[in-house]
Structure 1
Amino acid sequence: MDAVREAFKAIDRAMTGDSRVLEVGCGSGETAERIHALPGVSFVATDYADDMVELAAARGVDARQADICYLPFDPASFDVVYAGWVLDHVRDIERALAEVRRVLRPGGTFVALTDAEDRATERRRHRFSSETGERMLSRRFEDVRRQDLETASGDVTVFEAR
Structure 2
Amino acid sequence: MTDALREAFKAIDRAMTGDSRVLEVGCGSGEMAERIDALPGVTLVATDYSDDLVELAAARGVDARQADICYLPFDPEGFDVVYAGWVLDHVRDIDRALAEVRRVLRPGGTLVAVTGGDGATERPRHRFSGETGQRMLSRRFSDVRRLDLETDTGDVTVFEAR
With normalisation by structure 1, the TM-score equals: 0.97
Which residue of structure 2 aligns with residue 94 of structure 1?
A: 95
The share of aligned pairs that are identical, in percent, is 83
- For 1:56-95, list aligned pairs within 5 A: 56-95=57-96
Which residue of structure 2 aligns with residue 130 of structure 1?
A: 130
Residues 40, 96 of structure 1: alpha-carbon distance in 2 compared, 3 angstrom cutoff: same
Which residue of structure 1 aligns with residue 107 of structure 2?
A: 106
Query: Is residue 58–residue 64 contact of structure 2 (8 Å, CA) maintained in 1?
Result: yes
How far apart, CA to CA, are the structure 2 residues paired with 1:120 and 1:40?
A: 38
Which residue of structure 2 aligns with residue 52 of structure 1?
A: 53
TM-superposition CA deviations, 1:35-73 (whole Å, max 9, x none): 111111000000000000000000000000000000000
How far apart, CA to CA, are the structure 1 residues paired with 2:112 and 2:58?
A: 22
- Tell me by how many angstroms 1:126 deviates: 1.2
How far apart, CA to CA, are the structure 2 residues paired with 1:6 and 1:51?
A: 27
How far apart, CA to CA, are the structure 2 residues paired with 1:117 and 1:63?
A: 31
Query: Is residue 120–residue 154 contact of structure 2 (8 Å, CA) maintained in 1?
Result: no
Q: What 5-or-longer segments of structure 1 have no aligned partner?
A: none
Residues 120, 41 of structure 1: alpha-carbon distance in 2 compared, 3 angstrom cutoff: closer
Which residue of structure 1 aligns with residue 23 of structure 2?
A: 22
Query: Is residue 119–residue 155 contact of structure 2 (8 Å, CA) maintained in 1?
Result: no
- Tell me by how many angstroms 1:125 deviates: 1.3
Determine whether 1:159 maps to 2:146.
no
Residues 145, 119 of structure 1: alpha-carbon distance in 2 compared, 3 angstrom cutoff: closer
How far apart, CA to CA, are the structure 1 residues paired with 2:116 and 2:88?
A: 10
How far apart, CA to CA, are the structure 1 residues paired with 2:22 and 2:121?
A: 36
How many residues align? The count is 161
With normalisation by structure 2, the TM-score equals: 0.97
